[in-house]
Every structure is written in structure tokens, then in C-alpha cells.
Amino acid sequence: MKVEGCTAIVTGGNRGIGLGFVEELLDQGARCVYVGARRRADADEIAARDPERLVGVELDVTKLETVKAAAAMATDVTLVVNNAGAFEMQRLYKTDDPDACRREMEVNFFGVLNMVRAFGPIIEKNGGGGVINVLSAGGIVGVPDMGGYSPSKFAARAASDCLRAELAPLGIHVTALIVGSVDTRMAAHVTHIRKSQPRDIGKTGLWAMANKVDEHDTDPHAIAVRAALARDPGGLRASMAARLGR
């Protein structure tokens, strides 16, 4: 698919990687971008930057009523960017909040399904297009101190493979992005790795979609994790487990 002239909806589009996608879509000639955010005021604040091409949408991917309302309004969409994510910074076993992993799964896995199910028919009706799922290096190797985040990204990665096969006959391509550390609020606690910029992820993500790449490592950290996993899977997993002893 071509980015120029497309109509996109970006979940969590008011900041971080989502905002990076919004900015890249505008620069690459998107006709219209729906900026999704849980708070309408946050979405409208971004939309005010370019009122002719940006539209603010109140959108919580865990609430079907807001997803359906967005789909009813954004009937011209040809590209969905599933960027909204949750990271509760809890462990799976020793945790003060046992429901944290459930909330992460609701956003990072079920939220993706909610958006694809709602917008798939719209994209098909509009002649085809694409879905970009913003995943994580934590979706190709289990990170013990990421709690439910890592398992939820594993699940979303598997779902991306399944959805790609289901949607291909409808003219819809699914691209999964494996993202490392990025300079966002979610990764503010990461200090030992050089972080990429949100616009970098948006740019490489749109390139991957335009070229029908199934799964793409978006940044040096993600590439390094993939390489380490291929070179020494046991060593990488051992080093991840050792992090719990810090």
C-alpha cells in the first residue's frame, strides 16, 4: 500500500511512538489521520496542529463501545496503526497488583483484536490497505521483570501471524514491528541503553508496511536482541533472568 493519500487511524496517537506515526504520516502525504486517545482532549490537542488533516477521536481500545464509535465515524480508513500499549512495571509472581498483567493483556493483545475486527471490514470496503501492530523486543524474548507486558507482546505477535493469513485474501496486509528501547514515557526508567526516537519508529514502520514486510525490527536495540537470540538463545535468556537479581 502507499502511504501518500492514505487515511489512517493511530491508537495512542497523542504521544510517544503513536505521535511519531502521526507526524510521519503527515510528512509522507497521508490524506487524513485520526488521532486516537483515551481522553478526547488529548486527541484534540494533537489534531489542532493540522485541522485540515488531523481528527481527534476518543478511543480506548479495551472498550468496545469506543472502538465501534470510532469505526462508525472513520469509515474512510485504509491503515490501522495499533500502537496503544500498557506496561504496568509489575512482575508475574511477586507483585502487589495481581491484575496488572490482565490489564496489559487487555490493551496489548485484546485491544489489537478489537481494532482489527472493527476496521477490517472498512479497509476491505475501501479497496484494501494495511494494519501495523507495534510490538516489542519483549515479544521475541521473555523479559522476566516486565510482568505481563512481555507475554502480551508474544500473544500479539502470534495474533499478527494469524491475522496476516486471514486478512491477506481481503487485500489487507499485517506488519508486526519489533521495537526496542525508544525515548518515550513508557521507557523513562531505561537508562543503560541508547534509545531511538519515536519518529524513527514511525518512519521505519511505514516503510515496512509500504513494502509488505511481515515482521520488521525497527531500531538498533531490537536488531541487537534478535541477533543475540539467534546467536545464543540460552545465554540471552540467562542474562534476562539474571536481571532479577539487580
Domain boundary assignment for the chain: 7-245
Q: Give the full edge-to-edge strand order of the sheet including 215-217.
A: 54-58, 32-37, 7-10, 79-82, 129-134, 172-178, 215-217
> In this predicted structure, what is the pLDDT of residue 193?
65
Which of 104, 22, 133, 114 has the alpha carbon at shortest distance from 69?
A: 114
The three cell numbers of residue 134 are: 507495534
Mean pLDDT along residues 120-138: 97
Q: What is the rounded CA–CA span in Å between residue 90 and residue 8?
A: 33
Q: What is the rounded CA–CA span in Å between residue 8 and residue 46?
A: 15
> In this predicted structure, what is the pLDDT of residue 181?
82
Give kind and range of the element (H or E) at residue 41. helix 40-47
Arithmetic mean of pLDDT over the chain: 92
Mean pLDDT along residues 124-135: 98
Confidence check: pLDDT of 97 > 80:
yes
159-190 pLDDT, tens digit each: 999 999 999 999 999 999 999 988 665 655 55
Query: Between the CA atoms of 236, 164, 203 and 119, what dihedral angle is there, to the nearest 10 degrees?
Result: -130
The CATH class of the 7-245 domain is: alpha beta
Q: Report pTM.
A: 0.92
Residue 106: pLDDT band with limits 50, 70, 90 = very high
Confidence check: pLDDT of 234 > 80:
no
Please give the biggest Cα pair distance in the chain: 52
> In this predicted structure, what is the pLDDT of residue 190?
55
- Which residues are known catalytic residues? 149
Q: Is there a contact between 11 and 18 (Cβ–Cβ < 8 Å)? A: yes
